[in-house]
């Protein structure tokens, strides 16, 4: 009996039938599964990329509501102090951030205008998806949060295997405000030097 089993193991008869009935179907199924899974991953990565792009562009135009969000351009007559933003809009933003600690839903007219402008751009950029733009007016670190919710364009069988039908991604970008950065840096350096001189006796 043992000799017969050894002889069968050494012989090549039936190998093609075994491979055709077991090995090849397994390889085919695994290949199809990987292709379908790559479709899910591709759509998720695409949504992440779109969310980050929109958040970065809204953040880059945060310092001037007259800026074109897509290109960052604005007319020479639309400098920040010449538009509806006003000269002290940053100071008002700090006050708004302080009030938001007590009233979470508080939003000034300027912040609402910036948010609506960003929302309209996001919706025009991202089709067939639910987009939400939130401006977090923190005192130290204001940032833009963009959330995209969309159905994955894959068969339901694939969704049951690899993910949920409603895919949601969120991207966060810090606002770009070079003027405020320079102002705060100069403020800290000037007052820091005054304090050092006061306590240093110079």
Q: How many helices (H) and strands (E) are present in the chain, helices listed first?
A: 7, 3
Q: Tokens at residue 22, please?
A: 């077991």
Domain ranges of the chain: 2-196
* pLDDT given at position 107: 58
pLDDT, mean over the chain: 75
With contact defined as beta carbons under 8 Å apart, do 154 and 40 qualify?
yes
Question: In 3-state terms, what secondary structure has residue 152?
Answer: coil
What are 56-83's pLDDT values in tens digits? 988 888 877 778 888 878 777 766 555 6
Query: Dihedrals φ, ψ of 95, to 5°?
Result: -65, -40
Radius of gyration of the chain (CA): 29
Residue 67 CB neighbours (<10 A)? 21
What are 106-148's pLDDT values in tens digits? 555 666 777 788 888 888 888 888 888 888 776 667 788 999 9
Residue 113 CB neighbours (<10 A)? 14
Average pLDDT, stretch 1-5? 61
Q: Tokens at residue 66, please?
A: 């007259």
């Amino acid at each position: 009996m043992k000799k017969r089993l050894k002889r069968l193991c050494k012989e090549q008869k039936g190998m093609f039938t075994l491979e055709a009935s077991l090995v090849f179907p397994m390889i085919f199924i695994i290949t199809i599964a990987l292709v379908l899974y790559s479709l899910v991953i591709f759509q998720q990565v695409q949504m992440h990329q779109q969310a980050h792009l929109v958040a970065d562009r809204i953040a880059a135009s945060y310092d001037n509501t007259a800026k074109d969000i897509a290109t960052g351009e604005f007319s020479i007559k639309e400098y920040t102090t010449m538009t509806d933003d006003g000269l002290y809009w940053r100071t008002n933003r700090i006050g708004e951030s302080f009030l938001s600690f007590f009233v979470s839903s508080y939003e000034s007219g300027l912040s609402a205008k910036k948010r609506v402008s960003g929302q309209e751009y996001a919706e025009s950029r991202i089709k067939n998806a639910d987009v939400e733009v939130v401006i977090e007016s923190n005192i130290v670190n204001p940032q833009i949060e963009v959330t995209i919710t969309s159905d994955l364009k894959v068969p339901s069988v694939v969704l049951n295997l690899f993910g949920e039908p409603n895919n949601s991604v969120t991207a966060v970008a810090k606002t770009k405000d070079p003027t405020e950065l320079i102002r705060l840096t100069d403020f800290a350096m000037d007052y820091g030097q005054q304090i050092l001189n006061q306590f240093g006796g110079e």
